[in-house]
Every structure is written in structure tokens, then in C-alpha cells.
Chains A and B, each alone.
Chain A
Amino acid sequence: MNRILQCNDVSVRFGGVQALGDVHFDAEEGGITAVIGPNGAGKTTLLNVISGMVQQHAGFLIYGGADISTAPPHVRAGLGMVRTFQNLEIFSNMTVLENVMIGCHGRLSVPAWCSLLRTPRSVALERQIREEALEALEFVGIADLAGSTAKDLAFGRQRLLELARALAARPRLLLLDEPAAGLNIAETQHLGELIQRIRDANSLSVILVEHDMDLVMGISDAIMVLSFGQVISRGTPAQVQKDPQVIAAYLGVEED
């Protein structure tokens, strides 16, 4: 299979702390690649580096064959790399529909003067954005909430909203940062199915950072395990589960 994303020798330091040390990470085209590890392992930092929110101190990133090591976040988004956030970053004062319409921003665009003068082109584009946003809402199953203010939604719905917003951008690579955090078992199961459905329906690739092991083991094609900024294991879910180093990192090592 082709690799949609390659991270080579990525290192990030925050002051004296080595958050990521020489991390190699590949994501397969059309696959769900999970990144797991104990708290503070550097999972979110890796996602931030991939999406361009944190600049790596060393290493480079290849996405779809192009070097994107220094591209700013909005450019990466424009290339079809879209993320969600661990601590929901929804636009709380806007309606649900408007939130999702923002997702179309990078993809569907007219020059500023068209918006300023509200030319027919701008009006037609608005209609298209609106329809596509509604489609995304329907896909995740919250189209009935389109008119509500985003902050009034229940937590689980806000997670779905963030997912819909990301989908509206028609990503090639979807970066999910702990999408199951704060969800109950039923919601998590539903989310797992949804992620697979998203992957199949849009033939996109997913990078999943997650703590919920049932979810990760259930839907991932490949897993990478981080601990203190180092890669300690990688492979299929079955391989990773048996790796003694992974068990040690999660449970600690017994002293003889």
C-alpha cells in the first residue's frame, strides 16, 4: 500500500523536555493508523506536528509525495489534512450548521470582492456550502440540530459536530485526537462504527490518537506505541498487544 504520510526523525523539545525523539511514523493510504501510549507520551504533540500547530525541531514530513515540513496549518488543511481536538474546539457561539460550513472554508472559495459585493457567484457558493454542510451533518446523524447554537449541544453531540466539521472539509487524511474521551460505552461503540463508515465512504486515511483500547484494537489497521517520546512498538493490534515492552510501559515492570 502507498503511504499517505511519512514522518521522518521528528523531534520536539519543550524547554528541557524531549516530547518526541526521532519518531518515525507512517500512515497507510486508506488505513486507520492508531497512536497509543501512556499519558505524556507525546501522542498529541505528534498530532500537532502533523497538523502544523507545533513546529518540529528536527525531522521532516512527507504528505502525498510533497514535503510539508514548514507549511502553516491552514495550508495543510487546504491539502486535505483535517484534524479534531482533544479538548473540543467548536465555535461555541455559532450554530451547528455554521460550524460545519466553516469546514468547507478552505475547499470552496471565491475572491474577497465577490463576497463583499455579494455577486451571484458568491450567493451560489453559499448555497453549495450550506448543502454540503447539511450532508456532513446527516452523515454523522445530527442534521436535526442544524439550527441550534453549538454550545447548547450535549457533549457527545459536540464530538459528532467536530467530526462533521472535519468531514465537510472532504479530508484525504483525518487526524482524530482522542475522539472517544468523555463518551460512554454505547457512544464509543457508535463512534467506532462511524469512523469505519467515514473511512469506507470517503476512502480516506485516518490517524487516531486514543486511550480507549477497545476502540483502538477494534478498528485500527496498524498501531504505533509511544512512551516518553520514543517509539517502543509498532505493528498490527494483535502484535502490539503481545509486545512485552508495551505491557511494561502500561503496567510497569515487576522487580525481581
Chain B
Amino acid sequence: MQNGYNVAYRRDMFWLAGFFTLLMLAPFCMPNNYYLTILILCGLHAMHAVGLCLLVGHAGQISLGHAGFYGLAAYTSAYLSTTLGLAVGLSMVAGVVLTVLISLLVGLPSLKLKGHYLAMATLGFGIILSILFTETVDITGGPSGFVGIPRLSILGQELTTDIAVYRAVAVVLCLMVWLSFNVLHSRIGRALRALHTSEKAAQAMGVDIARFKLFVFVLSAAFSSISGVLYAHYLTFIAPVSFGFMFSVELIVMVVLGGMVSVPGSIVGAFFVTILPEFLRAFENVEVVLFGAILILCMMFLPDGLAGGWNRLWSRFRRAVHE
């Protein structure tokens, strides 16, 4: 009891260590590069899911605009490195910094809104950006996409192989998970959960709710933007369809599927939503229908998400062992 908080934190760190090991070992069981590409996309999507787990799951602030931050960072870095010829590393940093600043500007007024209204405001922002990506043909290449983006490089060293990119993505993802666990096990996480339940009471207890909402909004936007720059320089080609409204919805689906408040759950949700369509590809015409049906079944039988389902299974297993 005395160190209950530390115990919970340590358990999360164990999970993180296990997850990192798993990520590092996964490529050795991959028959070819195609699977590695899927895994990289999973990792990139999981970065959004982790940020949104904090924003939507813990703080209760719904955003339907995170695909916009994703795209903004990707296009900024692509433009700076390709059109203006800046170093890749510098462009990536600039892409992230610009997106974080924009998220600050967007968050300041819109986080005063609650529930559906916040969702609408961020939705509007996402759609505006999506139109910008499509219409500013001179800068972004328009609907046909932005081609010829230089590949990812770290400290001037280009990552030529997919496995190198994969390792970089895995490390960045795990860093984000670590930061998220730190936040959740601190006074900030507590304040976020508090303002989720009752903004009135949180204020009365001295929580500056505007500040903490903005903090978690910008943090999640930062995660999304880092995912964006990695995406752009990994695929070397980006198009507006990747950053549309549907992707924002998909991100929310990942978090909901993961059980809202569980960081590991959100990651599993992200992997699930990313991998599933690949498996369903064999069904061609009914692919989307099956995808939807599987999601509906998941929510029917696992109302508290994959994490909740896992917890129930685990406790039932432990009870069975004890008896």
C-alpha cells in the first residue's frame, strides 16, 4: 500500500521493457520486407494512438483533427528538405516545431469548447488542412502527391535499409510510451483524469484546467507530428488522402478499441487497425464490410476495449490457477 504508486509505475515499465524487446525481435521472424513495412506503419500509427490515449482517454478531450497535424508536419518537412534543399534532420525538427506551434494556436481557443463542440472545431481544422494539402498544388503537388522526398537520416547518416528505419521508429515509439507513463503517474496525469470527471471540482482544487488541457493537446500533437515527419521520409512520397478526415476517425477507433485509458491497449489497437485490412485484402470487394463488422463485434463483446478484455481474461486465468 505504502508504495502502491511505485508498484503501478514499475509494472508499466516492465510492460515497456517487454514491448521493446518484442519490437526488436519481431524482424527476425519476418519472411520478407513487406511485413516490415507493415510493422513500420503500425509503429507510426501507434505514436498517434499513445498521444490520443492521453488526450481522449484520460483528459476526455475529443480531437478529430490529429490527421491534420500528421500531414502538416509531413508536408512541412518534405517541402523544406526537397524544394528548399535543407538537411533532412533540420527539416524534420522544423516540421515538428511548426506543428507544435500551430497546435498551440488551435488549442488555445478551441479547448474552451466542450465535448462535441471541441470535436467539431478540431474536425473543421482537420478539413481545412486537408483542403490546403490538395489545393496548394505548387507547394504540395496537390492530389497526385509530393514525390522525391529524401530518405530518413540521423546525424547525416542516411538510413538506407528498412530495418534501420524500423529500429528508429521502435525506439521513438518506446520513448513516447515512457514519457506517457511518466505523465500518467504524476500530478499532471491525475489532474487530467480529474478534469475529465469534473472540471468544476478540479478548478476548485486549484487545477488550472485550461493549462493542462493545452499541455496534453500539444503533447499529443507533438507525437503525431513526429510520426508525420518519420512517415514522409520513410515512404519518400506523401499524398493528401493519407491525412484526411477518415484517418482522424481511424485514430480514435484505435484508442477506443484499446480501451480508452490504457496506453498498451491503444498500441495494440493501432496494430490491430493497421494490420487487419492487410489480412482482409484477400476478400477484395467485401473487405471494408468485414473490417466494419469485426470492429462492431469487438465493441459488442469487449465494451471496455482490448485492454479490458485482456484484464478480464487474465484475472479469470489467475483465479483458475489459485483453485
Q: Which residues of B contact A118 (CB under 8 A)?
A: 182, 185-186
Determine if B201 and A82 form an interchain contact, defined as CB atoms under 8 angstroms apart: no
Partner among B183, B198, B207 whose Cβ is within 8 Å of the Cβ of A115:
B183
A105 with B197, Cβ < 8 A, contacts A115-B186, A147-B4 known: no
| Interface presence of B187 (CB below 8 A) | yes
| Interface presence of A44 (CB below 8 A) | no
- Please measure, in the bound complex, the distance between the C-alpha atom of A126 and the C-alpha atom of B186, giving whole angstroms: 7
Determine if A122 and B186 form an interchain contact, defined as CB atoms under 8 angstroms apart: yes
* CB under 8 Å from chain B, chain A span 138-189: 146-147, 165, 169
Tally A-B pairs: CB < 8 A.
Answer: 102
| Interface size grouping (class) on chain A | 35 or more
A130 with B187, Cβ < 8 A, contacts A77-B206, A91-B193 known: no
| Interface presence of B159 (CB below 8 A) | no
Determine if B206 and A105 form an interchain contact, defined as CB atoms under 8 angstroms apart: yes
Q: Which residues of A contact B1 (CB under 8 A)?
A: 146-147
Q: Which residues of A contact B194 (CB under 8 A)?
A: 91, 94, 102, 105
A101 with B182, Cβ < 8 A, contacts A130-B5, A169-B205 known: no
| Interface presence of B52 (CB below 8 A) | no
Partner among B197, B209, B215 whose Cβ is within 8 Å of the Cβ of A92:
B197
- Please measure, in the bound complex, the distance between the C-alpha atom of A109 and the C-alpha atom of B191, giving whole angstroms: 12
Determine if A106 and B207 form an interchain contact, defined as CB atoms under 8 angstroms apart: yes
Q: Which residues of A contact B200 (CB under 8 A)?
A: 53, 85, 89
Q: What's the minimum C-beta distance from A115 to chain B, rounded to whole angstroms?
A: 4
Determine if A77 and B186 form an interchain contact, defined as CB atoms under 8 angstroms apart: no
Q: What's the minimum C-beta distance from A78 to chain B, rounded to whole angstroms?
A: 5
| Interface presence of B190 (CB below 8 A) | yes
Partner among A83, A102, A147 whose Cβ is within 8 Å of the Cβ of B190:
A102
Determine if A93 and B204 form an interchain contact, defined as CB atoms under 8 angstroms apart: no
Q: Most A CB atoms within 10 A — which of B182, B197, B205?
A: B205
Q: Most A CB atoms within 10 A — which of B1, B185, B186, B215?
A: B186
Determine if A112 and B188 form an interchain contact, defined as CB atoms under 8 angstroms apart: yes
| Interface presence of A98 (CB below 8 A) | yes
| Interface presence of B208 (CB below 8 A) | yes
Determine if B183 and A93 form an interchain contact, defined as CB atoms under 8 angstroms apart: no
- Please measure, in the bound complex, the distance between the C-alpha atom of A93 and the C-alpha atom of B287, giving whole angstroms: 38
- Please measure, in the bound complex, the distance between the C-alpha atom of A94 and the C-alpha atom of B196, giving whole angstroms: 11
Q: What's the minimum C-beta distance from B177 to chain A, rounded to whole angstroms?
A: 13
Q: Which residues of A contact B188 (CB under 8 A)?
A: 112, 115-116
Binding site for A on B (CB under 8 A): 1, 4-5, 179, 182-183, 185-188, 190-191, 193-194, 197-198, 200-209, 215
Binding site for B on A (CB under 8 A): 51, 53, 72-74, 77-78, 82-83, 85, 89-94, 97-98, 101-110, 112, 115-118, 122, 125-126, 129-130, 146-147, 165, 169
Q: List 5 A-B contacts (CB under 8 A).
A: A51-B204, A82-B205, A89-B198, A90-B198, A115-B183
Known: A117-B182, A122-B182. 19 other contacts (CB 8 A): A53-B204, A74-B208, A74-B209, A77-B204, A82-B204, A82-B205, A89-B200, A89-B204, A90-B198, A91-B202, A92-B197, A94-B193, A102-B194, A102-B202, A110-B187, A112-B188, A115-B187, A116-B179, A147-B1
